[in-house]
Chain A
Amino acid sequence: MMDAQLLVSGVIFGLSIGSIFFLMTIGLSLCFGLMRIISLDQLLYYSIGAYLTYAVSVAAGSVWLGMLAGVAVAGLASLAVERLVFRRIYERELTFSMITSFGILIGGVGVIKFFCGVVPRPVAIPTLAQVGIAGTDVPVYRLIVIGIAGLVYAGIWLFLNRTIIGKAIRAGIENVEHVEGLGINVSRLFTITFVIAGTLSGLAGGLHAPLIMVEPQMGLEVLAFAFMVVIIGGLGSIKGTLVSAFIVGQVVSLGSLIYAPLAQMAPFAIMLLILLIKPTGLYGSALLKR
């Protein structure tokens, strides 16, 4: 059977992957919860964050600075997309936003290809230090990733529960018309939520970049996993996204210790199982009918 060292590093690996999945899919979930859109272009902001991290870390020599730039540019890009495209389609049905955002994703991948070429690029890991946990050496960078995801979750929780804008967003998730009736500018609320979502996706890309190669198709590569995370957790639920991101992360990580090729398939099997039991996911609301 597995020895303890392998197990510890496997769990840490799974937690860090789960953290990145969480940051990547929380945008999808937030947008669905408030605006009732499926914003597949979050995966584009993920790629943008990763590419900016690469570009700035090569130019300026600091990966952290690159991540900061990536987060900022991803936020700006999401603001532009929201203003140009999504503003016009909030009223439309769900499939409409899905097709349109997929178009943005594919077009954005084309733009990235146009500027950066198709060659995969490596990003240096910001810190190579290792730390011993239960007699196993674990890379510090993965712990940092987990820590950032924890901070983001706490930050979102505080934002939604302790600030007036956050409370308005939560009320909007329950019922948009009532919030509008109270005189709150819903359109601005939508913009804020969308930019937060895009920024977090950019952060996910920046944090993921040193762990993988940066390439134009990277957004499409994680697409299947992003979907599985939101489906298992239930669309629109932040807690569900957190739980299912860590489930999927652990399944991928520990599964690959047992039998590598099946690790990619296992989350899909779990997804089917959960859909069989509860068609709206673990924490999904049954609010929205077809």
Chain B
Amino acid sequence: MCVSGISSDTGVSMVNALRWWWGILLAFSLLAAARLVAPLPFVIEVIIFSIYTMGCNFLLGRVGFISFGQPAYLAAGAYGTAFYLFYFGTDPYVGILVGVLSGLAVSAIVGPLFVRLRSDYFALVNLALAGIIYYLMQKVLAGITKGDNGLWFLTRIASNPVLDLGKPGQFFIFAMLVAVAVWALYKYLDDSIFGACCLATKLNEDKLEFIGYSNYRVRLLAFVVANTTTALAGAMYAVYLGFVSPEITSPHRAPDPVVVTILGGTGTLYGPIVGAVAYTGMKDAISKVIGNWELFIGFLLVFIMLAGEKGIWGSLAPRLEKLFSWRKAGTAGGDGGEARR
């Protein structure tokens, strides 16, 4: 699929650029429109959650790594931000940067060790890592992290004349911008040679090795990119909520990103958004009725898996594509067709 700028004809490249951005912009304008009808915390939760899920989605759908340990990297980002805002500075932007860098550091440290493993060991080791970070934050480092009480720094977040992250309304705009940037990045990765290599390492590692790429390097890079994205979501959670507690990395939260990934449609570009909307919506609705969320989420997961593991977007996209190409007769088949296969 063609990326803008390749063609010499400016008109064609304009169309290509439009086609490239069109799905992302449409998805996020829908989310922005949801702001008008849905309460603000819900929309912000959806945005951060979909960024959180994006890393897991990339690992599972593209590289074939199932990671139940995403909370570990979420916590790395959240605690990086929290330590900065609680002990050192007040600027939330710097805080988020610190969070992302600490997520990058953690995944770069454990990555070389983890990506060598078989996929089954990989999943177990990641979940063990999440459990260990939970203990670390709750018990071992309780002097710094204040244990289960968590770090509260909402009042320390400095205001900013341009985009004040302390105010939910302006945080929403910021989250939106970040999310569009993340989606653009992942769309770019999907279209790039690196994205193709990731898919190849999932489907046939021997062939990829034969062509001359290193499976290890492709996996390591994908691992670091995905988990840094997860850390970004953690940093945003920290700034948005104004507090961080060990609860964020507890093993009970481990299935969340996997559930959302599969609910939305594994490996599709818009799956995480669709999944996050569906998941957060159901969570709000169901915890009001029965107040026992795990009961539902567990069996939902089993049901989706047995029903064919395609997820909402995964089964919707081909139909949308069909509908769309029928209407426009294949001129700019952007919407569903742009989704990753």
Contacts and interface: CB of A to CB of B under 8 A. Distances in A.
Interface of A: 32, 38, 85, 88-89, 94-96, 98-100, 102-111, 113-114, 217, 220-221, 223-224, 227-228, 230-231, 235, 261-262, 264-265, 268, 271-272, 275-276, 279-281, 288-290
Interface pairs A-B: 10 shortest CB-CB? A107-B298, A110-B295, A224-B131, A103-B301, A106-B298, A110-B294, A95-B66, A103-B302, A261-B140, A107-B299
A99 B205 contact: no
Contacts of B116: 279
Contacts of B123: 38, 95, 98
Interface in B109-163: 113, 116-121, 123-125, 127-132, 134-136, 139-140
Contacts of B259: 103
A110 B296 contact: yes
Interface in B47-88: 60, 64, 66, 68
13 contacts: A94-B120, A102-B68, A103-B297, A103-B301, A103-B302, A106-B252, A107-B296, A223-B127, A223-B131, A235-B120, A268-B128, A275-B117, A275-B121
Nearest to B116: A279
Nearest to B293: A110
Nearest to B252: A220
A220 B251 contact: yes
Nearest to A95: B66
B305 A99 contact: yes
A71 B209 CA distance: 49
A290 B123 CA distance: 12
B292 interface: yes
A106 B258 CA distance: 13
B193 interface: no
A88 to B, nearest CB: 6
A53 to B, nearest CB: 22
Contact of B295 (A32, A111, A231): A111
Nearest to B202: A290
A203 B198 CA distance: 43
Contact of A113 (B135, B140, B295, B297): B295
B128 A98 contact: no
B165 interface: no
A106 B252 CA distance: 8
B128 A106 contact: no
Given A98-B66, A106-B301, A227 B295 contact: no
Interface string B249-261: 0011011001100
B294 A224 contact: no
A272 B113 contact: yes
B300 interface: yes
A289 B118 contact: yes
B273 interface: no
Report, as a range, how many residues of chain B touch the other chain.
35 or more
Interface of B: 60, 64, 66, 68, 113, 116-121, 123-125, 127-132, 134-136, 139-140, 205, 251-252, 254-255, 258-259, 262, 292-302, 305-306, 309
Contact of A231 (B66, B113, B128, B262): B128
Residue of B130, B136, B294, B301 with most partner-chain A CB within 10 A: B294
A230 B124 contact: yes
A290 B252 CA distance: 27
Contacts of B121: 231, 235, 275, 279-281
A102 B252 CA distance: 11
A83 to B, nearest CB: 13
A85 B307 CA distance: 12
B299 A103 contact: yes
A114 B291 CA distance: 9
B140 A265 contact: yes
Nearest to A234: B121
A32 B136 CA distance: 30
B300 to A, nearest CB: 7
Nearest to B206: A289
B132 A224 contact: yes
Given A109-B298, A231-B128, A288-B118, 17 more contacts: A95-B60, A96-B309, A98-B120, A99-B66, A103-B259, A104-B298, A106-B298, A106-B301, A107-B295, A107-B302, A221-B251, A223-B127, A230-B124, A261-B139, A264-B139, A265-B135, A265-B136
Contact of A114 (B128, B292, B300): B292
Contacts of B295: 107, 110-111, 113-114
A101 B128 CA distance: 17
